[in-house]
């Protein structure tokens, strides 16, 4: 299973806490993340993460390419709906490509839990 992890600046701590809570599960997956998010996740956990470019440099588009190539099984994008900055990744493009290719995308902690648990249940 290959998962993408992305977070707006104000949600990076939430994603780190999620990754720490589910570290055993995530350790069994291939992980990729945008640059800064991946760096922070690796500093806070023992997870091995393929880092793409940071969001402002196109890391979210690189992940979109993985989705289009069918090499990504799910996306967890901790989105800040209230204070996202213009330089941060835009969820709408990823949402569109995930919908086109029938790839699950979670945008908050509750949906991230369901996504992860659903993918692991399906893999068993």
Binding residue positions for substrate = 8, 12, 34-37, 54-55, 87
Residues in the chain: 124
Q: Tokens standing for 51?
A: 């880092």
Instruction: Show the 3-state SS of the chain.
Output: CEEEEEECHHHHHHHHHHHHHCHHHHCCCEEEECHHHHHHHHHHCCCCEEECCCHHHCHHHHHHHHHHCCCCCEEEEECCCCCCCCCCCCHHHHHHHHHHHCCCEECCHHHHHHHHHHHHHHHC
Q: Is 102 a catalytic residue?
A: no
- Which of 60, 80, 90, 99 is flagged as catalytic? 60
* Residue list, annotated binding site: 8, 12, 34-37, 54-55, 87
* Catalytic sites, residue numbers: 60
């Amino acid at each position: 299973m290959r998962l993408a992890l992305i977070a707006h600046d104000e949600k990076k701590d939430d994603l780190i806490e999620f990754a720490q809570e589910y570290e055993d599960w995530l350790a069994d997956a291939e992980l990729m993340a945008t640059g800064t998010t991946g760096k922070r996740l690796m500093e806070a956990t023992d997870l091995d993460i393929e880092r793409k470019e940071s969001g402002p440099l196109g890391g979210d588009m690189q992940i979109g390419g993985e989705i289009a190539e069918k090499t990504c099984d799910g996306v967890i994008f901790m989105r800040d709906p209230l204070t996202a900055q213009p330089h941060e990744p835009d969820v709408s493009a990823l949402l569109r490509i995930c919908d086109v290719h029938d790839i699950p995308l979670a945008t908050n902690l509750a949906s991230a839990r369901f996504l992860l648990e659903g993918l692991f249940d399906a893999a068993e």
